[in-house]
Each structure stands twice: as C-alpha cells, then as structure tokens.
C-alpha cells in the first residue's frame, strides 16, 4: 500500500491509502522524488479542465526507476523525468506530426494515475533519463519547461528582438530565461515586487508592474508578447503591448469557456498575430538536457516543499502571494 493525493470528484481531493501499482509490460515503476503543483491541478479540482476522476493528480514529476515491466530496458536506479502525455500515433493529428493535438492522448495525472504518490507506474518510452547527481527536486521542472520551450518555438524569437513576458509564475520565469538565452531583450511584467527582483537575476533587462509602466518603458511595444499568467486581464492587454507586425503567444491556461475581449480591427490594421501553445510536443528531452546542464535555473523558483497530505490543501486553495512553484515530496 502507499499514499497518494487523489482527485475524488468535483472539488473533492484527499490524501488516501491505495494499492501500490505494478508495472505492466512496457512500463516502469517510479519511486517519486518530487512533483510540482501546477495551476492546471487547481483547474482540475474546480472542474475547469477535463480529467477522469477518481485519479491521482500530478503531471510534473521525476523519480527513481525501482521496477520494470516486460520489455523495458531502462536500468534500475535511473533517475528519470516523466513526459505525461502519451499520444496514440495513429490519429490524423499524430500522422501530421501534431501529436500534442492527439484526440486520444492519455495524460498522466489527468486520465491515469500521476505523480502525487509514493510510486507511479509509467510508460517507459516517456521516461527521460536525468543525471544521477542532479538535485532530486529539479527533475519536476522538466514538464513545465518543455511546455514553455514549445511556446518559445512558436514565438520564433530572434536575437535582438524585444520580448515581453506577462506573468511571474513558473512559466513566466522559464519563458524569461529562454528568451534571454535566445538573445532577446526581455521585460517581465508582474505586480509583485519580489518576482520583479528575481526576474532581474534571471536575465530580465527590464521589469514593470503594470501595463502603463511597460508601455512607458517600451512605447512602441514588444516584437513578441508571451502571456504566461492565464488571466483575462493579461490576455486582453497582450495585443495592446505588441508592436505593429509583432506576435502574441498565449501560454497561460484560463478556465474552460472563459471569454476575453479583443479588437479585430486593431489586430488587422497592425497585423498582430495571436498564437497559442499547447503542452509539449517532442520538447521533453530538450527540457531535460537544459535542466541537467544548469542552462535554465530552477532552484530559485521553488517557493515551498509540501507533503502529500499538505498537497491536497494547497491544490484546493489559491497559491499564497509570491509563490512561484510548490514542490510535493511524497517521501516526506
């Protein structure tokens, strides 16, 4: 038996004792070292994102391989990060290479039991090996970094461009670092002073607290605006902060059925592109390599460490002010 933090139903979440899984053919059993609490977990709790409860949550996690099912060659004791999305490979979208749009995608932590547990049985081909000496908390950042890499790929940043990041959560802080690595001049926009101060240590050239402050610093706007907050206000302001001929990439997740207001004439007249980015097609290995090498810094993004019991309460409530990422440690 083991402990797991499970979504039992609509707005029902609890740490329960459940049977420890056995790896099936093609699977590994992972002793989970660390798992991140994502905003999507709160959307799942509120019924604002599709899932299949009852289910163990947790789609950002890493750990140690302790058992292998038939046909698996991963070595026991390997530290791995887990790409939670398992696409079918046969549907129209998969055949087009758009695997993140697979209609039959099975997402660990949403559709099958995930990483807020002491152990997780997981498809071996979606486990990416990490260095054995990597800090055990850091592998949990590979999935959000992989999603962010996909968004930055879509933004098609060029060296010397101006890039504005809206939102100072984990996706915003990762996007900021990737933008700086791409050679862009980056500005982070967030109301929280502590996050603005941190951004300056992670590659930001400028920071601003409000739309007006950002506009005062860059009156012509940014070549690219990356929306990472997932709230109506920032989605609506993103085109306004984009220069003519620029582009907006929506990375933040809003609740399903949320509507925002835009001005199509303004987008047309200034030829502003509004793009969107969904999960992590073929980017998990790139994320793992960047974290393994220390190219992207994640230690400063850890706000607090929680037990499985504390995770249930954390997911059921808004994050405290200033939090970037809470990490769940199933072993306590």
180: how many CB neighbours lie within 10 A of its CB? 17
Verify whether residue 150 is a known catalytic residue: no
Verify whether residue 43 is a known catalytic residue: yes
Q: Which of 5, 40, 108, 207 is catalytic?
A: 40
306 - beta bridge partners? 328
Pairing type for strands 162-166 and 61-68 reads unpaired
Q: What sections of the chain are H helices per DSSP?
A: 39-45, 92-95, 142-155, 170-181, 193-201, 211-217, 232-240, 264-270, 284-293, 308-315
For 46-137, strand residue ranges (E) read 55-56, 61-68, 79-82, 85-86, 106-107, 119-123, 127-130
**8 A C-beta contact, residue 211 and residue 190:** no
Distance between CA atoms of 212 and 209, rounded to whole angstroms? 8
Q: Which of 5, 43, 138, 148 is catalytic?
A: 43
213: how many CB neighbours lie within 10 A of its CB? 13
Q: Distance of alpha carbon 79 from its chain centroid, rounded?
A: 20
Enzyme catalytic residues: 40, 43
């Amino acid at each position: 038996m083991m402990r797991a933090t499970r979504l039992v139903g609509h707005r029902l979440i609890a740490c329960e004792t459940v049977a420890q899984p056995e790896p099936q053919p093609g699977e590994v059993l992972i002793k989970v070292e660390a798992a991140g609490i994502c905003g999507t977990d709160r959307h799942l709790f509120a019924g604002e994102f599709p899932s299949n409860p009852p289910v163990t949550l947790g789609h950002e996690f890493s750990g140690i391989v302790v058992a292998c099912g038939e046909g698996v060659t991963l070595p026991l004791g390997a530290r791995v990060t887990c790409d939670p999305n398992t696409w079918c490979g046969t549907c129209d979208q998969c055949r087009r290479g758009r695997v993140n749009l697979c209609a039959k995608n099975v997402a660990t932590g949403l559709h099958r039991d995930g990483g807020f547990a002491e152990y997780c049985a997981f498809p071996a081909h979606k486990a990416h090996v990490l260095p054995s000496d990597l800090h055990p908390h850091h592998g949990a950042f590979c999935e959000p970094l992989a999603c962010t890499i996909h968004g930055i790929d879509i933004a098609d940043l060029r060296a010397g461009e101006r890039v504005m990041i809206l939102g100072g959560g984990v996706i915003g802080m990762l996007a900021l670092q990737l933008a700086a690595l791409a050679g862009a001049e980056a500005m982070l926009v967030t109301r929280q002073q502590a996050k603005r101060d941190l951004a300056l240590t992670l590659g930001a050239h400028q920071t601003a607290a409000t739309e007006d402050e950002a506009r005062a610093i860059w009156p012509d706007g940014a070549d690219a605006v990356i929306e990472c907050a997932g709230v109506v206000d920032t989605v609506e302001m993103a085109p306004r902060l984009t220069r003519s001929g620029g582009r907006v990439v929506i990375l933040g997740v809003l609740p399903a059925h949320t509507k925002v207001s835009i001005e199509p004439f303004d987008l047309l007249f200034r030829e502003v592109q509004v793009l969107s980015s969904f999960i992590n097609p073929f980017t998990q290995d790139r994320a793992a390599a960047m974290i393994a090498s220390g190219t992207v810094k994640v230690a400063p993004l850890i706000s607090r460490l929680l037990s499985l019991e504390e995770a249930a309460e954390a997911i059921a409530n808004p994050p405290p002010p200033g939090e970037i990422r809470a990490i769940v440690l199933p072993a306590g």
